[in-house]
Structure 1
Amino acid sequence: MHGDANADVDTDGAILLFDGVCNLCNGVVQFLVPRDPAGRLRYAPLQSDAGRAVLERVGLPEDVDSVVLVEGERAYTKSAAVIRVAELLGWPYRLARGGRLVPRRLRDALYDAVAARRYDWFGRRERCMVPDEDVSDRFLR
């Protein structure tokens, strides 16, 4: 099944995989889209066929519990993904690269603490978000 899905997924450019039923994650995607007018980022829920195909392509398990940014063959997870996305957005978000001065273990511990409580704090959806028609080409299916 995943072999067929891989063939249908265009994997050029940066792809952000996110928890499609998480309100926090969906809110972050809705924040990112207008701040990326050039469309450098494309999106797919982790739960989607496209998301699973991208995970398989970069050798990550389907049950990964992190935001994942994939650029070519490189995959960033947790805090590294957040920082890299900010860099791709440009000024002033690029300032987040200063976060690399904090040891990754500490950054990821903070990421994990929020991720573990995201449904309690922000809630969850019954199904993945449907993008607005004007940006639907940025979402992989």
Structure 2
Amino acid sequence: MSRWAPVPAPDLADGLILFDGVCVFCSRWVRFVIARDPEARFRFLPIQSAQGRALAVRLGVNPDAPETNVAIMDGRALMKSDAALSVLGMLKGVRWLGTLRHVPRWMRDPLYDLIARNRYAIFRRTEACMVPGPDERARFL
């Protein structure tokens, strides 16, 4: 079994996305999801928060050097491309991208890993987590 295979998370709310809050790319991902999720199905938790760190450790993600975002879907914690594609599959206008989950993980995750490894160099990093606007604040834990 892969270290990044889905793991049971029945006690966590579906639609929770754990993300790297100081990563500019990851913060843009969160804003992308918010813009295409008018039903507000997704909630967000930065890994740099106390609750985010604890959840990361529980799920096997290093909170000091996260290699993946996490999405809780159907009582399971999804990692890497599984997480991203599952979320995309539920978003208005890009739902079709969710069909890429049919491509085997061993083919998808290397691209995810390449982006994840280089995200700070390509997209930069901030000193503090993103600050949601007043309309978005309720969607963040």
TM-score tier (shorter): 0.7 to 0.9
Contact persistence 1:40–1:88 (CA under 8 A): no
Please name the residue that 1:33 is paired with.
34
* CA-CA distance at 1:17 after TM superposition: 0.8
TM-score of the pair, normalised by structure 1: 0.82
Within-5 A mapping of 1:78-97: 78-89=80-91, 91-97=92-98
| Structure 1 unpaired stretches of 5+ | 1-9
Structure 2 residue 53 is the aligned partner of structure 1 residue 15: no
Equivalent of residue 71 in structure 1, options 61, 70, 73? 73
Q: Name the SS for the 1:134 alignment partner.
A: coil
Instruction: Give yes or no for the alignment of 1:126 onto 2:132.
Output: no
**Which residue of structure 1 aligns with residue 4 of structure 2?**
none
Q: Does the Cα contact within 8 Å between 2:67 and 2:113 map onto a contact in 1?
A: no
Conservation of the 8 A alpha-carbon contact between 1:11 and 1:72: no
Counterpart residue type for residue 82 of structure 1: A
Q: How many angstroms does 1:50 deviate by? A: 2.2
Supply the distance in 2 between the matched residues of 1:93 and 1:125 (Cα, whole angstroms). Answer: 28
Give, in angstroms, the shift of residue 94 of structure 1.
1.6
For 1:71 and 1:101, the matched residues in 2 are separated by 17
Identity of aligned residues (%): 42
Shift of 1:30: 1.1
Aligned to 1:54: 55
Q: What is the rounded CA distance, in whole Å, between the counterparts of 1:43 and 1:29 in structure 2?
A: 8
SS at 2:135 equivalent: helix
Amino acid across the alignment from 1:76: L
C-alpha displacement of 1:72: 5.6
The structural deviation recorded for 1:38 is: 1.1
Q: Which amino acid letter does the alignment assign opposite residue 80 of structure 1?
A: D
d(CA) in 2 for partners of 1:105, 1:116: 17
Alpha-carbon offset, residue 105 of structure 1 = 0.8
**CA shift at 1:124, angstroms?**
0.2
Deviation at 1:100, TM superposition (A): 2.1
| Deviation of the 1:53 alpha carbon | 3.6
1:98 lines up with 2:99 in the alignment: yes
Q: What is the alpha-carbon distance in structure 2 between the residues aligned to residue 54 and residue 38 of structure 1?
A: 25
TM-score normalised by length of structure 2: 0.82
